[in-house]
Amino acid sequence: MHEEILEQFLSRVVEAIGQNTFVRMTLSKPRSKRDELRNVYVKPVLIKGNRLYAFTYRYERRDEVKNYDAGQLSDVLKEMLPSRFLNAVLFTVTEDLTLLITSKGKATLQSKKVQENREQNLEHDKQKNRLINPANPWWYQLGLTTREGKVTADMQHKFKQICKYVEIVESLLKPMRFEGKVNIADMGAGKGYLTFALHELLTQRMNMEVDIKGVEIRPDLVQKINEIIRSSQLVGLEFVEGAINTFRPENLDVLIALHACNTATDDAIASGIKAGTQLILCAPCCHKQIRQEMERSGKVSPITQYGIFLERQAVMITDTIRALIMEYHGYKTQIMEFVEMEHTPKNILLVGRRVEKPIDRAAIASKISSLKQEYGIEQLYLETALGVAF
């Protein structure tokens, strides 16, 4: 019976606590696939001189941490095994003890001696070394944190996205060399989450002097965000009212356009190319223009006769041609996947770095022309925005 095996496991846990050999424990394999709680991690911690056990509850979109004393630990485990989790592993100084329970209730206990020298780590989990500090006041005003600087439960996933975004931007900017103030345009900046994150990264982490313009078409949003900027006394950050296709930057080093829908991405890329921007970073979405042209051309293959595959192919063709056009204009391009972003169905980041080297424009133009002909495309909107044709 699994009850007997479970009792053996729990008694070994209590024994490890009593002998001070408890290192950590994990609970995994949720009984229900619908359970949002995916794992639980347990480790001893020393808080104000008291030995407690920190339970990290890992949900699909957030983590929660609760501390229990030794007496409470067994009760918590009994509530979770096997009602919510079917697997548990106890790591001690000398062994790994694994509890396995099948969906039908059969339980086994496996023990494995360890060779390495393990030690307990009683330090409480350190604050994550994030590039973004949630305690900064603008995050509360933007609705992501409490007044105390703690990310709210419903914004945990959004904040992780923001942190992932700045990690990517930092990796792209580090190798680049800018002289003096760096001029940046964030096209279609929306509520400003990523724009503020960019400003914080560059000014507080990378010690750069910046002039960041968040371009947003909604006047009420522009006014609200500028009030937050003023109250936070941020220098080098401003939101301006305007559409992507009408914003004409004169001096621009970095152009960012995340979630620019359909041909708005082309307008942003065109603005960056015309301004001689050193770095262009786009997260395109809603690739309707090329899909519609492919449908009109009648060049349907056995693959693209299925709508979902036609859509996926339109995404690949659109962003490939965009990358080639950027290369034609002197950019080294890169297309990468970014699974943390939302609103980007194919999770693609299109990156272009301006380079000073000879370009075989005839070869690139030939590639673009061949792709257009193969898929029945008359013209990509980016060609129109740049006043070129291939």
Domain membership flag for residue 129: no
**200 and 318 housed in the same domain:** yes
pLDDT of res. 116:
64
**226 and 279 housed in the same domain:** yes
Domain membership flag for residue 270: yes
Domain membership flag for residue 128: no
Question: What does the alpha-carbon distance between residue 120 and residue 21 come to, in Å, rounded to a whole number?
Answer: 7
Last residue of a domain, one of 58, 79, 113: 113
pLDDT of res. 251:
87
Domain membership flag for residue 122: no
Domain membership flag for residue 118: no
pLDDT of res. 337:
76
Domain membership flag for residue 351: yes
pLDDT of res. 298:
75
pTM: 0.66
Question: What does the alpha-carbon distance between residue 116 and residue 95 come to, in Å, rounded to a whole number?
Answer: 10
CATH number at residue 223: 3.40.50.150
Rounded-to-10 torsion of CA 281, 282, 283, 288:
-170
pLDDT of res. 147:
84
Last residue of a domain, one of 113, 145, 180: 113
**177 and 297 housed in the same domain:** yes
Q: Count how many domains the chain has.
A: 2
Contacts of residue 113, Cβ cutoff 8 Å, sequence gap at least 6: 94, 95
Contacts of residue 24, Cβ cutoff 8 Å, sequence gap at least 6: 41, 42, 43, 44, 91
**82 and 208 housed in the same domain:** no
**105 and 143 housed in the same domain:** no
**223 and 183 housed in the same domain:** yes
Q: Is the dihedral of CA 68, 150, 46, 27 positive or negative?
A: positive
Q: Which residues form the domain of 185?
A: 137-386
**162 and 212 housed in the same domain:** yes
Contacts of residue 314, Cβ cutoff 8 Å, sequence gap at least 6: 287, 290, 291, 294
Question: What does the alpha-carbon distance between residue 187 and residue 255 come to, in Å, rounded to a whole number?
Answer: 7
Nearest to 321 by CA among 346, 287, 296: 287
pLDDT of res. 105:
83
Domain membership flag for residue 127: no
**161 and 255 housed in the same domain:** yes
pLDDT of res. 344:
41
**54 and 184 housed in the same domain:** no
**146 and 96 housed in the same domain:** no
**174 and 103 housed in the same domain:** no
pLDDT < 50 stretches in the chain: 1, 126-127, 340-346
Last residue of a domain, one of 80, 113, 146: 113
Domain membership flag for residue 285: yes
**219 and 361 housed in the same domain:** yes
